[in-house]
Amino acid sequence: MKIAFFSTKPYDKIWFEPMGKEYGFDIHFFEAPFQRETVTLARGFDAVCIFVNDYADAGMIEQLYEMQVKAILLRSAGFNHVDIQAAEGKVCVLRVPSYSPEAVAEFAMGMILTVNRYTHKAYNRTRDFNMSLNGLMGVDLYQKTAGIIGTGKIGQAMIRICKGFGMHVLAYDPYPNRSLDVEYVPLEQLMASADLISLHCPLTAETKHIVNRSTIAHMKQGVYLVNTSRGALIDTDALIDGLVAGKFGGVGLDVYEEEEGIFYEDKSGEIMRDENLARLMTFPNVLITSHMGFFTKEAMQAIAKVTLDNAYALENGLPLVNSVK
């Protein structure tokens, strides 16, 4: 099988290159993202492998079908960047449903601890021998209420972590897992009751802008909000207005609504033309990272293995357990 990898970074090759040889695949790595302008690079390949900030719309999928590309291999759990309906019956879409839930959940808690206790600011101060504590006061998480939106594997890992901190945990999910030791409540109740809200749900038509002007208005004053899932779960304009109004104690964003073309790239020598992102960076109680919650050795190794297992199953007519329909 010939596979074209897009949006390739050096750390992708660490696992995919040797594993690909073990599977007997012919892998070609492209640094370019997968988009309308680059879809023709897939000609002659059996499958394309794309990442979270690539996309495959209906027109691109039709081109893949005409080029006899059999599959789109996703190096991610989310699939909102692929037109699944257009792919049905033409190109198989295979994802990595789980790689390391703990990696993302641990990172989410790390963002909360950092933005709450200002450890990133304290680090910069003390390097200049500024030992003042002014402006660095946080709050105890112990006995506070955590609201977890989405109780899949990552949400479940986050629930365990929050309970380890002695927090009371509320959860919302349209498909509750009653085997979990957690209190499910309506979304409105969670928004109004939680001192900390952490998003762990996929991006769908129903969840887009689940954090918006209305839900922000129902949140507690001084609430902490963390998003390590997908940027469009939050209405960025509404978030900025809430920050200006002093609604939030702190906000941690590992994802951003318009991150495509920015995250995973070095833009340090350029003027940031995304005004909302530039403005978010000015708030002292906002911490932004570049969609790296998944980025551990264990997770990267698991992503590589499941992605190539998916390709192997397709090539050999085995059950496609990770097919997206």
Long-range contacts of 176-185 (CB under 8 A, 24+ apart): 176/151, 177/151, 180/151, 180/156, 182/148, 182/151
Interval 53-100: pLDDT, tens:
999 999 999 999 999 999 999 999 889 999 999 999 999 999 999 888
Q: What is the model's pTM?
A: 0.91
Using the predicted structure, report yes or no on whether residue 145 has a pLDDT greater than 90. Answer: yes
Confidence of residue 278 (pLDDT cuts 50, 70, 90): very high
Cite the active site residues.
Answer: 230, 259, 291
Confidence of residue 39 (pLDDT cuts 50, 70, 90): very high
Interval 6-38: pLDDT, tens:
999 999 999 999 999 999 999 999 999 999 999
Q: What pLDDT does residue 325 have?
A: 87
3-state helix, strand, coil in the chain (%, to 5): 35, 15, 45
The C-alpha angle with vertex 206 and arms to 177 and 250, in degrees rounded to 5, equals: 80
Q: What pLDDT does residue 98 have?
A: 83
Q: What pLDDT does residue 269 have?
A: 94
Q: What ranges make up the beta strands (E) of the chain?
A: 2-5, 26-29, 47-50, 71-74, 92-94, 145-149, 168-172, 183-184, 196-199, 223-227, 248-253, 286-288
> Cα separation of 106 and 119, whole Å?
16
Instruction: Confirm or reject CATH 3.40.50.720 for domain 101-288, answering yes or no.
Output: yes
Polymer length of the chain: 325
Judge if 2-99+296-315 and 101-288 fold alike in CATH terms: yes
Q: What pLDDT does residue 99 have?
A: 85
Confidence of residue 161 (pLDDT cuts 50, 70, 90): very high
Q: What is the CATH number of domain 2-99+296-315?
A: 3.40.50.720
Span 186-194, average pLDDT: 98
> Cα separation of 98 and 122, whole Å?
35
Q: Please report, for the chain, the start and end positions of each structural domain, with discontinuous segments joined by +.
A: 2-99+296-315, 101-288
Share of the chain above pLDDT 70, in %: 100
